Structure 1
Amino acid sequence: MKYLCLVYSNEQLLHDSPDSPRDEECFAYGESVQASKLSITDGPFAETKEQLAGFYLVDARDLNEAIQIAGKIPAVRVGSVEVRPVRELLV
């Protein structure tokens, strides 16, 4: 089943915190998840107070596995990650 891991963070904190992940770390994490036979894609950026900094679309066995993957996303150190199941429509 596919799960969407939505990464949220305060924009100022995301860019100014010494604990903020660098792009290289995020790309390396994405590559490590792909190498473990789970698929992910990066997403767009939203302009809100606490903004959607991006997302990962993962194919996991169940919600517990999706939460384990989401918990290791580097940006979680300066924000939060919301995990939602995704239903695919055959149209």
Structure 2
Amino acid sequence: MKYVVLIYGNPHSRTAWAGMSDEQRAAGLAHYQRLNDELDASGERIVSERLAFPELAKRISGGSTTDGPFAETKEFLAGFYLLDCDTEARALEIAAKIPEASFGVVEVRPVMGLHGPEL
């Protein structure tokens, strides 16, 4: 079954990242690389990406395109993993390894595809 793991950021996490030393940032990125390598070896990672900050987003609504974040919220989507896991429990286990899970929000959601059940 496929699961998307949504990684959310917020003003606090942005400030924490900005306040890190180069060595701390490198260690954080190395953690993600180890996780990616582990998931690649197990065949569970389909893709993962870090997203640009919301200020660079574009919104299309009613045929018009506008700049900037479109949601009135402090949290923003910072990145994602698309996984192929045997069980939801395994997807949750993987999500718990993401650093933001300890101080932010990480959401795990089944991918239903075009013909999946409604709920």
Normalising by structure 2, what TM-score? 0.62
Number of aligned residues: 90
After TM superposition, list the pairs within 5 Å mapping 1:17-28 onto structure 2: 22-28=28-34
> Corresponding residue for 2:95?
70
Closer, same or farther in 2 for the Cα pair 1:2/1:16, shift >3 Å?
Answer: same
User: Is the aligned partner of 1:32 residue 2:57?
Assistant: no
- Please say if residues 9 and 78 of structure 1, whose CA atoms lie closer than 8 Å, have aligned partners that are also in contact: no
User: Is the aligned partner of 1:9 residue 2:9?
Assistant: yes
After TM superposition, list the pairs within 5 Å mapping 1:51-70 onto structure 2: 51-70=76-95
CA distance in 2, matches of 1:11, 1:53: 12
SS at 1:67's partner residue? Answer: helix
Which one has a bigger Cα radius of gyration?
A: 2
CA-atom RMSD in angstroms:
2.5
Structure 2 unaligned residues grouped into runs of 5+:
55-68
- The one-letter code matched in structure 2 to 1:52 is L
Normalising by structure 1, what TM-score? 0.77
